[in-house]
């Protein structure tokens, strides 16, 4: 009797396992074509869409965000530049074991045409990568994007299937471990898996090899409390296809209810006439429901920050004037250079108030140039710069409470810095050190000693050449006729042609004299400063040979 019961239980378990495998096989539920054909069509659609995006949109490929082979990003940018732009990070699906960023740029065309930056993230899929590694990689990719593109006006996530799970894990991140606090404004979670325990006994876990402990700590439905702490202001859309399997639909519905019960801003979208695959493929269509909803979210960033953009435009105008005055050219010439850089793929990012334009040429093999124009007051310390950046970040994110707090902290620290600097100047003037007094006066008056300009005088160069060439002899000149040279081996004369000088200067003696020069002394009539002689002592020690010849 026990054997019969055991056999029945085994058959029941086997039947349940087979049904669970079917439930988590999205291709089995498509009404458009067979399971094998729908997967091939899906890969082809994503691949062709990505190739089109790379041909149409401005892009930078294979940007590393870590040291791993798969830890790279593809960035698709709008053709027209803007001071602050929304940015969408896309996490691809493929059951954590298929696809890559090479098939993840398909959605970039309609978004970049609306002025949105799209970032496609790659990560290490199974079996080379495990679940913990993949979650860590997508989190680190977001940190890298924030650090590189700090001028973005809004950050959004979009993930499909396994990418929906990873996007939900990003929302549930404890960012204190990463020393950043990203303000994610919106997230599209499309046909994702939010509880990993049910798939542990299916074929999906064969390459993943998840244990129960790994599945529990990487299940977003069990991390709703952390999501509420990290992403409470995020607008979340949980979308599912009408023809998704019942188990996939249940995953999305349960996760939506959990987020709703926690008081988060979440909506549930049941997209009609779609299956697990074309629900994401149709993002290439600007008239598609999810595409329009995504564009509506991101268009808010252009309307909500009109005031901020006006301020930035004024600062950019001031920057153009300062650059023109510094370089000595017209404003129109500076503007044309900026436009030329924009067309050639050079990204110009000027952070507000820092006076530091960062010029980065994205063309392969071109050098990266950093130009620094520091226009801060002498009392404006590094700490104040960090506080100013925090205030500007709060303004960009639209967090008024955080902005007021950062502004008040900055004003308080400015008063402290001014008092400290005034005390420092007072101590300098009361001391008996003339150097510190003159330094203080230069700081107050913003006086800078003009650097001497080198004159290009061809006649002077010819005169110097003729002067030094007179020391050469005919036998040493390279133009001496070869026929006069003897074919006999040269032997040194029995007695030297010239007696050795009684006084001889060594290179070490001359080097020591140069090193003893005092940097603060005034230069001689030739304009060479003692600081230059001391710094170049090793190179100038060679002049001992010239001195010895003149003895």
Cβ neighbours of residue 474 closer than 8 Å, sequence gap 6 or more: 480
Give the three-class secondary structure for 349.
strand
Q: Which residues pair with 478 in a beta bridge?
A: none
Phi and psi, residue 368, nearest 5°:
-95, 125
Which tokens hold the place of 186? Answer: 């919106």
Q: Mark residue 493 as left, alpha or beta (left: phi above 0; alpha: psi -120 to 50; beta: remaining).
A: beta
In eight-state DSSP terms, residue 431 is S
Phi and psi, residue 361, nearest 5°:
-90, 120
Cβ neighbours of residue 190 closer than 8 Å, sequence gap 6 or more: 158, 159, 160, 161, 163, 164, 239, 240, 279, 280, 290
Peptide bond into 384 cis (omega under 30): no
Cβ neighbours of residue 11 closer than 8 Å, sequence gap 6 or more: none
Sign of CA dihedral 292, 297, 301, 304: positive
Q: Please check whether residue 338 is in contact with residue 332, taking contact to mean a CB–CB distance below 8 angstroms.
A: no
Active site residues: 161, 244, 276
Cβ neighbours of residue 420 closer than 8 Å, sequence gap 6 or more: 379
Q: Please check whether residue 334 is in contact with residue 359, taking contact to mean a CB–CB distance below 8 angstroms.
A: no
Q: Please check whether residue 312 is in contact with residue 352, taking contact to mean a CB–CB distance below 8 angstroms.
A: yes
* Of 232, 207, 221, 239, residue with least CA distance to 401: 232
């Amino acid at each position: 009797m026990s054997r019969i019961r055991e056999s029945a239980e085994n058959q029941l378990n086997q039947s349940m396992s087979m049904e669970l495998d079917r439930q988590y096989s999205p291709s089995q539920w498509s009404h458009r074509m067979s399971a094998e054909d729908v997967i091939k069509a899906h890969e082809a659609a994503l691949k062709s869409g990505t190739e089109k995006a790379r041909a149409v949109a401005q892009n930078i490929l294979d940007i590393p965000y870590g040291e791993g082979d798969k830890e790279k990003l593809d960035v698709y940018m709008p053709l027209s530049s803007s001071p602050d732009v929304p940015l969408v990070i896309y996490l691809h699906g493929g059951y954590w074991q298929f696809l890559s960023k090479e098939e993840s740029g398909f959605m970039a065309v309609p978004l970049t045409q609306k002025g949105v930056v799209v970032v496609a993230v790659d990560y290490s899929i199974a079996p080379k990568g495990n679940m913990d590694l993949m979650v860590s990689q997508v989190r680190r990719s977001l940190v890298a994007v924030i650090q590189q593109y700090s001028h973005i006006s809004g950050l959004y996530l979009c993930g499909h299937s396994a990418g929906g799970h990873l996007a939900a894990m990003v929302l549930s991140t404890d960012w204190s471990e990463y020393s950043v606090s990203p303000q994610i404004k919106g997230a599209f979670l499309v046909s994702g898996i939010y509880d990993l325990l049910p798939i542990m006994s299916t074929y999906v876990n064969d390459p993943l090899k998840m244990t129960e402990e790994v599945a529990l700590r990487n299940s977003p439905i069990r991390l709703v409390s952390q999501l509420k702490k990290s992403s409470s202001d995020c607008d979340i859309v949980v979308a599912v296809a009408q023809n998704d399997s019942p188990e996939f639909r249940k995953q999305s519905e349960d996760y939506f209810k959990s987020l709703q019960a926690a008081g988060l801003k979440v909506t549930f979208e049941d997209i009609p006439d779609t299956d697990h695959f074309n629900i994401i493929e149709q993002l290439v269509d600007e008239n598609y429901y999810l595409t329009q909803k995504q564009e509506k979210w991101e268009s808010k960033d252009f309307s909500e920050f009109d005031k901020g953009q006006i301020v930035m435009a004024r600062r950019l105008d001031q920057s153009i004037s300062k650059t023109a005055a510094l370089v000595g050219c017209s404003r129109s010439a500076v503007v044309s250079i900026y436009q030329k850089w924009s067309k050639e793929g050079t990204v110009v990012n000027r952070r507000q108030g820092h006076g530091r334009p960062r010029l980065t040429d994205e063309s392969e093999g071109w050098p990266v140039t950093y130009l620094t124009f520091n226009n801060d007051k002498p009392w404006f310390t590094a700490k104040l710069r960090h506080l100013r950046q925090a205030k500007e970040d709060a303004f960009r994110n639209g967090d008024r409470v955080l902005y007021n707090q950062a502004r008040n902290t900055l004003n308080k620290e400015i008063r402290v810095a001014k008092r400290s600097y005034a005390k420092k100047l007072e101590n300098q003037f009361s001391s008996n050190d003339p150097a510190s007094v003159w330094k203080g006066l230069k700081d107050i008056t913003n006086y800078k000693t003009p650097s001497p300009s080198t004159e290009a005088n061809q006649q002077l160069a010819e005169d110097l050449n003729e002067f030094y060439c007179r020391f050469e002899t005919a036998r040493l000149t390279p133009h001496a006729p070869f026929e006069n040279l003897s074919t006999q081996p040269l032997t040194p004369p029995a007695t030297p042609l010239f007696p050795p000088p009684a006084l001889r200067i060594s290179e070490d003696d001359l080097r020591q004299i140069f090193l003893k020069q005092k940097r603060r002394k005034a230069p001689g009539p030739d304009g060479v400063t003692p600081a230059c002689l001391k710094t170049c002592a090793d190179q100038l020690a060679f002049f001992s040979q010239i001195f010895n010849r003149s003895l």
